Chain A
Amino acid sequence: MIGFYTFMEGVIAFFLIAGGVFAFIGALGMTRLKDFYMRLHGPTKTSTLGVGCVLIASACYFSLVGGGFSVQELLITIFLFITAPVSAHLLAKSALHQKLPHDQRTQGHPEELDEEEENPEPSERAEITPPP
C-alpha cells in the first residue's frame, strides 16, 4: 500500500519533469527549425505548457506542505495561457510586416509577403496635418 504522501510526491515529480522536458523541447525547436514561422510554434505551445506543468507541480507541493489549498499558481497559468497566443499573433504580424523569408516547401503564399506593395495600408498619421 503506497502512502498518500508518496503518491503525491510521485505526481509532483512527474509534473516537474514533464514541465522541464516540454520547456526544453520548445527551446530546442526554436533553435533547430528552419524559418521564423516554424520557430514560432515551439515556444507558443510547448514552453507555455511546460511552465504550466511546473506551476501545477508547485501548487500541489505547497498544498501538500503548507496545509490548505494553494491556488495562486493557477492565476499565472491562466494568465500565460491567455497571453501566449496574443504575443504569438503579434510576433507573426510583425514578421509578416518585415517580410521575413519562409521555407521553400511552404504551401500557399500570403499577399502580405509579395515584393511589390500593391495596396499599402493607408497611414492615418500621414494625413494629419501638423499644427502650425
Chain B
Amino acid sequence: MLDMALWISLALFAASVLLTLFRAVIGPSLPDRILALDTMYINSIGLIILFGIWLNSKIYFEAALLIAMLGFISTVAVCKYLLRGDIIE
C-alpha cells in the first residue's frame, strides 16, 4: 500500500513541477515567473522528501532544509530587486 501511495504522490509532484515549468516559460510577466520558480522549489522539497522515503534514508532531509532556506532567500532577493532596482540599500 505504501509503495502505491509513494508512486502516486511522486507522479503528482512531478506533474506539478512540469506545470510550474510551463508557467515559468509562458509567464507573461516577471512576477509570474518568480511565482512559478517559488512554487517549483516548494514542490522540489516535496520530491526530495519523497525520494528519501523511497530510499529509506534520512540524508535527504538536510538537502530539503537547504533548498527551503535558499529558495526563500532568492525569492525575496529577486522581489526586492524588482521593487527597488537594488538588493541591498
Binding site for B on A (CB under 8 A): 9-10, 12-14, 16-17, 19-21, 23-24, 26-28, 30-31, 36, 39-40, 42-43, 47-48, 50-51, 54-55, 57-58, 61-62, 65-66, 70, 72-73, 75-76, 79-80, 83-84, 86-87, 90-91, 93-95, 97-98, 100, 125
Contacts and interface: CB of A to CB of B under 8 A. Distances in A.
A86 B76 contact: yes
Given A20-B13, A125-B89, A93 B50 contact: no
Contacts of A65: 56
B69 A98 contact: no
Interface of B: 1-2, 4-6, 8-13, 15-17, 19-20, 22-23, 29-32, 34-36, 38-39, 42-43, 45-46, 49-50, 52-53, 56, 58, 61, 64-65, 68-69, 72, 75-76, 79-80, 82-83, 86, 89
Contact of B31 (A17, A19, A100): A100
B23 A30 contact: yes
A55 B46 CA distance: 7
Contacts of B52: 58
B12 A21 contact: yes
Nearest to A95: B31
Contacts of B16: 23-24, 26-28, 47
Nearest to A31: B19
A65 B64 CA distance: 20
5 contacts: A23-B13, A47-B43, A76-B65, A80-B45, A86-B76
Nearest to A18: B9
Nearest to A58: B49
Contacts of B75: 87, 90-91
Contact of B5 (A13, A39, A80): A13
